[in-house]
Chains A and B, each alone.
Chain A
Amino acid sequence: MIIATSLFNTSCQQENDSDFVLVKCNAFYNRVSKIYKKTIPLADFYIGKYEVTQKEWIKVMGNNPSNFKGDNLPVEMVTWYDCVVYCNKRSAIEGLSLYYNIDKTKKDINNKSNLDTMKWMVSINKESNGYRLPTENEWQFASCGGIVSKSFKYSGSDDLNDIGWYWRNAGDIILIGSWKWINIENNNSGTKAIGLKKPNELGIYDMSGNVREWCNNWYSDGEIGVGQYRAWRGGGWIGGEHACIPSYRGKFEPNGKGPDQGFRLCRSYVNNN
């Protein structure tokens, strides 16, 4: 059974075809996930094997906002808005339809964040085959290994050190004890080149740690309504182990950015791919 399929055979327009995997979505198999056995109405989708790098970002956007500089380092210091602009620009370059309709001149009245001063109107074209951010469910499904999940605690292992860069191991020495920012900042910690650790069951790298990854949808739960935060997943080099667990739901103002906030591309699997 082919569960991770290169895009190479399905689209000759893709430049980095082998950098995506096709995620089949028959069921949700990770036994440690919180939605195990529940029916997740996911359609098959492509997701990047790697976090978007600075080289990829510069090629499309012509700038590099990252704090840590290096072609193969993940891009960071990008807002949710920056990322959807990137998706559209890259789609246009590669001849794909645009997934997002972005209107910077109108304020989104559904955006209730006190801190977000941008509040762009962003809507989606569901049928588009263009680049987009993964939804939280897609991200978690892929992170947990899809239908070949081995039910690891993190994305690809029970030992975070095998597969992820996080606050303990992303600096000069391995930090022990409790999370303390002063120890992290004195440890020369930061992002690491993509793909250095082991991949997960689907061949996807760095889903736990390195940079937190923006998701497409608003964050909401029993106490926080839609319109306050966009969701992120996976944790980053600053945060604690808990944030690297695939089920951990992070949130950040859409215009928030930080040296640990990046993203990973996704595409819907549509017949005209």
Chain B
Amino acid sequence: MKQILSLTMVLILALYSCEEKLVEDMKPKLELQLKTYESGTNNDYFWSLWKSDGLNGSVNYTNGEGGNYSVSWDMYDGNFTCGKGWSSGSRNRVVGYNCGSFSLNGGGGSMAYYGWTRNPLIEYYVNEKWGAHRPADGASLGTVYSDGGTYNIYTSWRSNAPSIDGTQSFRQVYSTRTLQNSSGENHTITFANHANAWADAGYGLGADISPSAILLTEAWGSSNGYCNVTVWDGGSSSNTDPIAGVKRLVNRGSGLSIDGLGRTANGEEAAQYNSNSTNAHWNIVSAGSGFYYIVNQGTNMKLDGYGRTTNGDAVAQYNNSTTHVNAQWKIISAGSGYYYIQNRGTNMKIDGYGRTSDGSALAQYDSSTTHYNAQWQLVD
């Protein structure tokens, strides 16, 4: 998957210029002009085709009926990606597909379910078929069993893609079947099984899964081949996590919500406020192993215990990039629809500390407390 680095970035940059507009002196167009990026909707499915320019050989992509597409390439020494699927990703999607034929000779590539998340920026693949080289680069993270097969999980770093902080390095996380899946039969990819396994390995997907997700055919290097595949919506897996999602965290004792107050420096205190603002909304995202990150919707900062262990110590906030245990929380039922929020690093619970004034600091208290001040309602 080495080539995917440049391919991915180039694809991203190509999107800048997909609408060719007159440019002023002040605003010259990007150097990376790629006129062979196309995307659209066909039979209610999102599709896209990207080819690198100026290289030898040919790539022919054709949309078929329903979710079908076919692609063939010959003596192609560049990179291409193409596929059909959905304009946005979904954690609980079950992808149905039937690959009538697949052949990849030379170079590298795969047929995979593929997409992106943001916050943090992660590129994901579930590889079903490939050529001579099974996609297995990067660090190995274990295995997951899903849809009748065993997959190995890998991760690696890539660089230079856009994020809310600007250009950022990003992570690839992917599952590759130990054996290629068969042609000519209906199969499913229960994506949540992979997403959960990645999270359990410490590489959970980002909070924003809205970028497109397709059943991808990709090849690079000097290769030829063909693929004819039909994709469909295989339904939704039922293991939706009731805790995850954007919520307000409302204290049982005081009724105040946890509020980031718009603070953006690492270590700054989180507060309590009688508010329904963006700063009082938090995206609760799985960090794997039953823990969660709690990410502010106004600033993208995470709640962080900051390693503090004294009763009454403040809860801090930390840049979204952190994956430290201090920024991971277990959310435990306290009954009656309330929850304790307990830090992974220290076992301290988030506690309102009886404070009732807007802007007052959010505290922590040791794990023994069952006080209402340490109980929180998750309000959608």
B344 to chain A: which residues have CB within 8 Å?
none
The tally of residues in B whose CB lies under 8 Å from a CB in A reads: 45
- Residue A202 CB within 8 A of the other chain: no
Minimal beta-carbon separation of B46 from chain A (angstroms): 12
- A259 engages B265 (CB within 8 Å): no
Knowing A34-B265, A115-B159, A245-B264 touch, does A188 contact B166 (C-beta < 8 A)?
A: no
- B27 engages A188 (CB within 8 Å): yes
- A258 engages B27 (CB within 8 Å): no
- Residue A214 CB within 8 A of the other chain: no
A184 to chain B: which residues have CB within 8 Å?
162
- Residue A253 CB within 8 A of the other chain: yes
Knowing A192-B26, A223-B322 touch, does A256 contact B160 (C-beta < 8 A)?
A: yes
- B322 engages A243 (CB within 8 Å): no
A-B interface contact total, Cβ < 8 Å: 122
The tally of residues in A whose CB lies under 8 Å from a CB in B reads: 49
Chain B minimum-CB-distance residue to A76: B167
- Residue B306 CB within 8 A of the other chain: yes
How far, in whole Å, are A66 and B28 apart by their CA atoms in the complex?
A: 11
Minimal beta-carbon separation of A158 from chain B (angstroms): 13
- A249 engages B13 (CB within 8 Å): no
- A256 engages B16 (CB within 8 Å): no
Q: Choose one: B27, B118, B300; the contact of A242 (CB below 8 Å).
A: B300
How far, in whole Å, are A238 and B164 apart by their CA atoms in the complex?
A: 7
Q: Choose one: A73, A172, A196, A259; the contact of B167 (CB below 8 Å).
A: A259
How far, in whole Å, are A243 and B26 apart by their CA atoms in the complex?
A: 23
B165 to chain A: which residues have CB within 8 Å?
239-240, 243, 250
How far, in whole Å, are A206 and B12 apart by their CA atoms in the complex?
A: 26
A37 to chain B: which residues have CB within 8 Å?
none
Chain A minimum-CB-distance residue to B12: A185
Which secondary structure characterizes the binding site on chain B? loop
A253 to chain B: which residues have CB within 8 Å?
159, 169
Minimal beta-carbon separation of B345 from chain A (angstroms): 10
How far, in whole Å, are A134 and B163 apart by their CA atoms in the complex?
A: 24
Which secondary structure characterizes the binding site on chain A? loop
- A188 engages B16 (CB within 8 Å): yes
- A259 engages B30 (CB within 8 Å): yes
- A260 engages B26 (CB within 8 Å): no
Minimal beta-carbon separation of B33 from chain A (angstroms): 11
B223 to chain A: which residues have CB within 8 Å?
none
B30 to chain A: which residues have CB within 8 Å?
67-68, 190, 259
A242 to chain B: which residues have CB within 8 Å?
164, 264, 299-300
- Residue A62 CB within 8 A of the other chain: no
Minimal beta-carbon separation of A254 from chain B (angstroms): 11
- B266 engages A186 (CB within 8 Å): no
Knowing A253-B169, A258-B167, A259-B167 touch, does A68 contact B27 (C-beta < 8 A)?
A: yes
In the assembled complex, 12 residue pairs joining A and B whose CB atoms fall closer than 8 Å, in A order, are A67-B30, A67-B31, A67-B32, A70-B28, A179-B164, A185-B15, A186-B19, A238-B162, A238-B163, A250-B165, A250-B166, A258-B166
List 9 tightest A-B contacts by C-beta distance, closest first: A258-B167, A239-B166, A69-B28, A242-B264, A238-B166, A240-B164, A185-B15, A260-B166, A236-B166
A→B interface (CB under 8 Å) = 34, 66-70, 73, 114-115, 172, 179-182, 184-186, 188-190, 192-193, 196, 212, 221-223, 235-236, 238-240, 242-243, 245, 247-253, 255-261
Besides the contacts A185-B16, A188-B16, what 4 more A-B pairs have beta carbons closer than 8 Å? Answer: A188-B27, A223-B318, A250-B165, A252-B167
